[in-house]
Structure 1
Amino acid sequence: MIEIRRLEDKCNHCMMCVRECTSGVFRNVDGKCMVVDPLTCNLCSHCAAICPQSAIVHSGLDQTQIAAAKAKLIDPEVYAEIARTRRSVRAYKDKPVPRDVLEKILDLAKYSPTASNTQNVEYTVVGDRALIKSIADRIFSYGARFADWTQTRKGKLAFGALNLAAPKANLGRYVEGMDYYKEQAASGKDLILHNAPALMLIHAPAKAPFACDNCNIAAANITNYAHALGLGTCYIGFLTLTLKLNKGMRRELGIPQGNKVFVSLVMGWPEYKFKRVTARKEPSVTWIGAD
């Protein structure tokens, strides 16, 4: 059972914990902030983070992780530059990513917000280069066989119907370029996982509310932080789709039963650096009641 206490000798009854506690654990009782219903706590830790007096003791939280925020280090221009200059990297040096660096990235990812503070995001990290190559080869083979099938009589009819049903997917571009892609693959180029030294799969219970959102929020933090550390990343939609359909590959990668992979990332040291910020179209925005 969770124990939540307020240290009387430190508390100044500023009511910040009451204001921040959406679960109703902390409440204003006759002008004093009181712990009323600890069973409703969802372990968001806002009470400990907001308290100016460090007067909250919470058995459900690791007290060693609760430390003063270094607000002076938050430079909006630095973050903006990270977001603007991060690129999808598809060429990596033949150099492993040390485990302590990967652990550093995942340690930061755990601070990513999750719906109702479920903290249900899980990770599978693959550094086995032979396994990474095997997965890439198999996925490319699936794609090549699919492209060949679309050239058959039945395949042309089915593929035409598929394009009509999902025109935005623009699947034709992959089929039309397959001869070139096969030549590239035959020369040793990895068009799927890009010969990356590390593969990171981000997954969560398939039926959990907002599981997809939770995983993608974590992925955004991972890719930006990796970029700040000098690493490159790339989202691999083909692998995410394959893992959705291929139960055997999920077992091979140790994805827990009942979990779904929502994000697949390759990661490594970029072979070269991008020198400029690229162009982006202006966002489509609808303003309602904004000055």
Structure 2
Amino acid sequence: MDLLKVDTAKCLRCGICVECCPSCILTLGENGPECDFDRGCMSCGQCVAICPVGALDNKYAPLEKQRPVTMPMPTPEATYEFLRMRRSIRNFKEQAPTDEEITRMLDVARYAPTAGNTQGMYYVVIRDKEKIKAIADAVADWMEDEVAAGTENKRYFTTVLRAYRDRGQDIIARNAPCLIFALARRLNITGVSNCEQSWAYAELFAPTIGLGTTIAGFIQSCGIAGYQPLLDLVEVPPKHKIVGTLMVGYPKYKFKRMPERQHLKVDFR
């Protein structure tokens, strides 16, 4: 079929799908929505999802694969408390998360918004303790190179290296039993931004299945910089780039209180 298939017996000609198309490629014809430029479709499925009577089908986002919205929206109060309760976890139990738990968390991340609905995240999960230690060591080597080169991070990395090299504190990988690397084919702002959105979904879902997470900022920065020894350890496939790294594990401790943040700064104009 062409891009759109319209059940004319159901279609109300309300034009909601046309109005809500992100690519603005739909028009309202005599028999319902029409599209003369299907190459402009970003496959988001919005047109099908928003139709009040289910009269529309899209070859890139079929109606049969869309689930009805049935769950009520959680209350603002419950949502606010849940979001406040989530903490970045840097102390983990030794046991690594299971395949099932990691898969559930990353499956949720698939539904995060991405620029132009590009999606395309590819994940590499590492749970081998020796490899994680080798990754942390490689990142420390990269930091030493940055310090020697006198980059803007020189002072900060010097402090990190003092903890990691001199005091033996794993400030880089935090002794996490699992590292997840997000890869994308493009390292531009789209790939990194898409990863950040995906991590947000994963990190919010993780506590519901007993997992703790935090973004491995040092490792992530090293990967985005394209440091070859790290890329070799992760075995990054051809044409892919590291765009993010997440530490995952079972929290070693349980937070009892919710720390306050800086006061809200907003200017209404």
**What's the TM-score, normalizing by structure 2?**
0.86
Change (3 A) 1:146 1:253: closer
Q: Aligned-pair RMSD on alpha carbons?
A: 2.6
Which residue, 188, 200, 217 being the options, matches 2:180? 200
1:103 aligns to what? 103
1:35 aligns to what? 34
Cα distance in 2 for residues equivalent to 1:236 and 1:207: 18
Kindly state the Cα deviation for residue 226 of structure 1 after the two structures are TM-superposed. 1.0
Cα distance in 1 for residues equivalent to 2:229 and 2:156: 28
Cα distance in 1 for residues equivalent to 2:108 and 2:172: 27
1:270 aligns to what? 251
Change (3 A) 1:112 1:68: same
Cα distance in 2 for residues equivalent to 1:68 and 1:181: 50
Name which one, 1 or 2, has greater alpha-carbon Rg: 1
Change (3 A) 1:278 1:205: same
Which residue, 257, 261, 268 being the options, matches 1:280? 261
Cα distance in 2 for residues equivalent to 1:180 and 1:12: 66
1:260 correspondence with 2:259 = no
Q: Deviations over 1:168-212 (max 9, x none)?
A: x5x535535755544541xxx532212212111123233555222
Change (3 A) 1:261 1:142: closer
1:85 aligns to what? 85
Which runs of no fewer than 5 residues in structure 1 stay unpaired?
Answer: none
CA contact 2:164–2:170 (8 Å) conserved in 1: no
Cα distance in 1 for residues equivalent to 2:21 and 2:142: 50
The 5 Å alignment of 1:1-291 reads 3-30=3-30, 32-37=31-36, 38-61=38-61, 63-140=63-140, 142-143=142-143, 145=144, 159=150, 162=151, 166=152, 171-172=154-155, 174-176=157-159, 178-185=161-168, 189-208=169-188, 210-243=190-223, 244-288=225-269
Q: Return 215-224 or 61-70, whichever deviates more.
A: 61-70
Q: Deviations over 1:205-254 (max 9, x none)?
A: 33555222111111111111112322111111211222224123213313
Q: Deviations over 1:77-127 (max 9, x none)?
A: 333223212222111111121111111111111111111111133322222
Change (3 A) 1:124 1:21: same
Number of matched residues?
267
